Amino acid sequence: MNSENMQNILIIGAGTMGLQIGFLCAVHGCSVAVYDVDQGVLAQAEKRVKTLAKRFSQQNRLSPEAVEQTLARLSFTSDPEAAGRDADLVSESVPEDPALKGKIFAQFHKICPPRTIFTTNTSSLVPSMFAKATGRPERFLAFHFHDVVTSNIVDVMPHPGTLPEVTAAVKTFAEKIGQIPIMLQKEHPGYVFNTMLMSFLGEALSMAAKGVASIEDIDRAWMGVMHTQVGPFGIMDSVGLDTVWKITSYWAEKRQDPKARKNADFIKKYLDEGSLGQKSGRGFYSYPDPAFARRGFLRSRNPRPADKK
């Protein structure tokens, strides 16, 4: 299998990441079937994909004709047979649960041709946790994306049983769709960037959970010193608080880590109120006009004498 043959892409899970990955593959000429079990999610998918197209157009990454062609290459379905029977590459983005991921791959192992490469977009698990359950461990690895609007970095992480030519084909495919592959030489939960990010977010959550400073001030501190548009709590809103909670509580349990448990409990209060972050219109901030993006968020609250009229 070489990446030239990877034309038909199956995306499993039409949520935050599945849709972004599917859209990116379609931008680069692939035919993309997006599969989900939730009809409500599928009903919204077309609208959400148009929003992504708009953001790519604003960045001058897509002409109006290319937008039309990209949208025409995407299809949405809840029929696993139709979605999987001619797939060259599968990219899975269902919730962060190794048992669920393994079960879904086993289902598609029966539907997809033997040539199909299976990849997971897991954030914090490692592929060997559910490689056997996929039914084709030698053609399975992690292929992990970041936000496709703001980044072009992907992690390519095989497990010890992945065939080297499968890893090489995914690396070449990553380049074909305009990404910079970061090649993991051994399994590592969190890959490269996310390992650094999770400890950063964990410290921010821990300070908020302990009441050290407000969410806004913690973001302000980071944004003001690092000159970034967003701080740790704004980042978590864009990731999705349900996803951050799942990852945090998974590791709290696995490592019996009381600090991570406290952080997970802190996020859970938001989930219980239906605040999932940007995707639900409310998280740590309210959307579409979050306070951290407003003029004045970083301005001094006590104007210098020269600023007073």
Binding site for ligand NAD (CB under 6 A): 12-18, 35-38, 41, 93-96, 104, 121-123, 144-145, 239-240, 243
Closest separation in Å from C-beta 300 to ligand NAD: 33
Residues in CB range of 260: below 8 A, 6 or more apart? 202, 248, 249, 251, 252
Closest separation in Å from C-beta 6 to ligand NAD: 20
Closest separation in Å from C-beta 279 to ligand NAD: 7
Minimum CB distance to ligand NAD smaller for 104 or for 271: 104
DSSP string spanning 112-155?
A: S-TTPEEEE--SS--GGGTTGGGS-GGGEEEEEE--TTT--EEE
Minimum CB distance to ligand NAD smaller for 106 or for 168: 106
Task: Tell me the C-alpha distance between 189 and 157, whole Å.
Answer: 10
Identity (one letter) of the amino acid at 177? I
Minimum CB distance to ligand NAD smaller for 66 or for 193: 193
Within 10 angstroms of residue 115's Cβ, the number of other Cβ atoms is: 12
Closest separation in Å from C-beta 157 to ligand NAD: 12
- Residue nearest ligand NAD (C-beta atom): 15
Minimum CB distance to ligand NAD smaller for 62 or for 239: 239
Minimum CB distance to ligand NAD smaller for 96 or for 219: 96
Closest separation in Å from C-beta 83 to ligand NAD: 9
- Spell out a b/e string for 184-221, using b for 16 or more CB atoms within 10 Å of the CB, else e: beebebbbeebeebbeebbebbebbbeeeeebbebbbe
